[in-house]
């Protein structure tokens, strides 16, 4: 069970915090690109990538949206140009890998909701045990997702955030120039 005070810190019920989800997705995208898609979590390493779908939108106009599909659209010139033109990530399909297991899911930057989850294959043939295993796999994904968000928040509220923002801007501009 999680701490109610901690849950409040992770809450997106108020639109005033929506920018955190957008920054989180950008942070994930940048980290993934710069670090071979590898992230350290409490008990090892995971791999995370934006895969097959990314939606970007202008801040003031949802009419100005880019929906990029297929392969690894986050690593395309079109995606980097959208970022350099001021668009931000509103939705993405992620693949998270840990050991031999892989989860695929959609996530929204508005409130960090996760949907369309495809969990790793269930091994148990017994119906009750298979159900418990599925619940464990969903809980594991939730825990890993929250660990990534906590790592982002630690950096976001830390003294190095201004340097990170500069690094993100340079990464976006360099990506847009390459393509």
pLDDT of 152 strictly over 60: yes
CA distance 125 to 110: 38
Question: Is residue 54 within 8 Å of residue 74, measured between CB atoms?
Answer: yes
Q: What's the pLDDT score for residue 89?
A: 93
Average pLDDT, the chain: 88
Q: How many residues does the chain have?
A: 179
The predicted pLDDT at position 76 comes to: 83
Q: Residue 113: what pLDDT?
A: 92
- Cβ proximity of 141 and 114 under 8 Å: yes
Query: What pLDDT is stored for residue 8 in this prediction?
Result: 47
- For residue 171, is pLDDT > 80? yes
Give the SS3 label for residue 126. Answer: coil
Q: Is 105 helix (H, G, I), strand (E, B) or coil?
A: strand
Contact call for residues 109 and 24 (beta carbons, < 8 A): yes
β-strand partners of 65:
57
Express each pLDDT in 120-151 by its tens digit.
998 888 999 999 999 999 999 999 999 999 99
DSSP 56-93: EE-SS-TTSEEEEESS-GGGSHHHHHHHHTT-EEEEEE
pTM: 0.85
* pLDDT score of 176: 84
Rounded mean pLDDT of 49-71? 83
- Mind listing the pLDDT tens digit for each residue in 68-122? 898 788 888 889 999 999 999 999 999 999 999 999 999 999 989 999 999 999 8
């Amino acid at each position: 069970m999680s701490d109610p005070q901690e849950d409040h810190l992770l809450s997106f019920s108020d639109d005033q915090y929506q920018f955190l989800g957008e920054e989180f997705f950008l942070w994930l995208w940048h980290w993934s690109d710069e670090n071979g898609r590898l992230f350290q979590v409490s008990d090892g390493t995971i791999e995370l990538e934006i895969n097959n779908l990314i939606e970007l939108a202008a801040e003031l106009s949802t009419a100005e949206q880019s929906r990029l599909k297929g392969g690894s659209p986050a690593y395309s010139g079109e995606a980097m140009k959208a970022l350099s033109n001021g668009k931000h990530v509103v939705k993405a399909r992620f693949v998270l890998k840990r050991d031999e297991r892989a989860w695929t899911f959609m996530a929204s930057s508005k409130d960090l909701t996760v949907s369309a989850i495809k969990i790793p294959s269930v091994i148990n043939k017994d119906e009750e045990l298979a159900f418990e295993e599925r619940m464990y796999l969903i809980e594991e994904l939730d825990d890993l997702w929250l660990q990534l968000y906590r790592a982002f928040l630690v950096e976001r509220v830390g003294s190095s955030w201004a340097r990170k923002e500069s690094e993100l801007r340079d990464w976006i501009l360099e990506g847009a120039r390459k393509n």
